[in-house]
């Protein structure tokens, strides 16, 4: 198996673990045990880096405790796969910064903040004139569509509601369900904030799950979206499923 294939398989396996913890069908996510038990340690660390902020979803959305030893695993993953310092990888930089911000929040240790500082805002982030290309970028930034984060990317989402809705519809028509699920996450985050939306993110998430099937990564995106909708202040979780 090539390194790329091994990394992809490990990422899917970790996503399945996170999904199980988030849905209540599996135990708590224990990154230290996941890496220790992995047959390929490097691939397991790559999976931690690939999922990034999403590895914290059960802790943020369902209040699972965060084991202290897991912070060391995230740090080890950054050692194995350092954060990019090139200006042409701003999307990756935003994702890395989100990971270290949430790690600091959950562990109380902000040591890693220095290795993944927040990128400087770029004008194109808020430019939705070319909405289809903009949505591709926002889909890549979907791990930021969770609780505990706010910044330029979230401001861009608030200013691009119509573009996000167009992106979800376009992705569904193209049967690009992974992209649709990632964009639905942004709509779910906005719904959680009380933003009025022309497209119901809960119905969109259910449609993607019904007609698109779901690999572990897409299923995780949809599960996070549902949790965001259900945790909206003043929203009854049962009503969200009605």
The tens place of each residue's pLDDT in the chain, 242 residues long, gives: 578 899 999 999 999 999 999 988 877 888 999 999 999 999 999 999 999 999 999 999 998 889 889 999 999 999 999 987 655 589 999 999 999 999 999 999 888 888 899 888 788 888 999 999 999 999 999 999 999 999 999 999 999 999 999 999 999 999 999 999 999 999 999 999 999 999 999 999 999 999 876 789 999 999 999 999 998 765 544 333 33
Shared-domain flag, residues 163 and 94: no
Please say which residue of 68, 99, 120 terminates a domain. Answer: 120
Shared-domain flag, residues 129 and 235: yes
Shared-domain flag, residues 70 and 130: no
What's the number of domains the chain is made of? 2
Please say which residue of 101, 120, 139 terminates a domain. Answer: 120
C-alpha 209/C-alpha 70 separation (Å) is 31
Shared-domain flag, residues 105 and 5: yes
Q: What is the pTM of this model?
A: 0.92
Say if CB 135 and CB 163 are below 8 A apart. yes
C-alpha 160/C-alpha 186 separation (Å) is 10
Shared-domain flag, residues 50 and 133: no
Shared-domain flag, residues 85 and 164: no
Shared-domain flag, residues 102 and 48: yes
Shared-domain flag, residues 107 and 128: no
Please say which residue of 102, 120, 138 terminates a domain. Answer: 120
* Per-residue pLDDT reduced to its tens digit, 92-120: 999 999 999 999 999 998 888 888 998 88
Range of the domain at 193: 122-242
Shared-domain flag, residues 194 and 137: yes
Shared-domain flag, residues 52 and 32: yes
Shared-domain flag, residues 104 and 127: no
Shared-domain flag, residues 135 and 98: no
Sign of CA dihedral 38, 42, 43, 46: positive
Q: Is 199 exposed, middle or buried (0-12, 13-18, 19+ CB in 10 A)?
A: middle
Say if CB 217 and CB 7 are below 8 A apart. no
């Amino acid at each position: 198996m090539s390194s790329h294939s091994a990394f992809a398989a490990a990422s899917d396996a970790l996503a399945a673990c996170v999904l199980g913890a988030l849905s209540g069908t599996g135990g708590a996510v224990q990154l230290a045990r996941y890496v220790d038990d992995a047959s390929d340690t490097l691939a397991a660390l790559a999976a931690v880096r690939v999922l990034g902020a999403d590895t914290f979803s059960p802790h943020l959305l369902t209040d699972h405790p965060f084991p202290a030893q897991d912070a060391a695993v995230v740090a080890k993953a950054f050692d194995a796969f350092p954060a990019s310092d090139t200006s042409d990888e701003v999307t990756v930089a935003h994702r890395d910064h989100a990971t270290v911000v949430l790690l600091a929040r959950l562990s109380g240790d902000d040591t890693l903040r220095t290795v993944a500082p927040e990128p400087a805002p770029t004008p194109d982030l808020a430019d939705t004139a070319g909405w289809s290309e903009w949505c591709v970028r926002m889909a890549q930034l979907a791990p930021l569509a969770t609780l505990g984060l706010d910044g330029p990317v979230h401001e861009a989402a608030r200013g691009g509601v119509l573009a996000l809705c167009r992106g979800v519809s376009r992705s569904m028509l193209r049967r690009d369900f992974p992209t649709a699920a990632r964009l639905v996450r942004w709509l779910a985050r906005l719904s959680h904030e009380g933003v009025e939306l022309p497209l119901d993110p809960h119905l969109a998430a259910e449609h993607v799950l019904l007609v698109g099937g779901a690999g572990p990564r897409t299923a995780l995106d949809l599960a996070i979206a549902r949790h965001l909708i259900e945790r909206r202040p003043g929203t009854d979780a049962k009503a969200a499923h009605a």
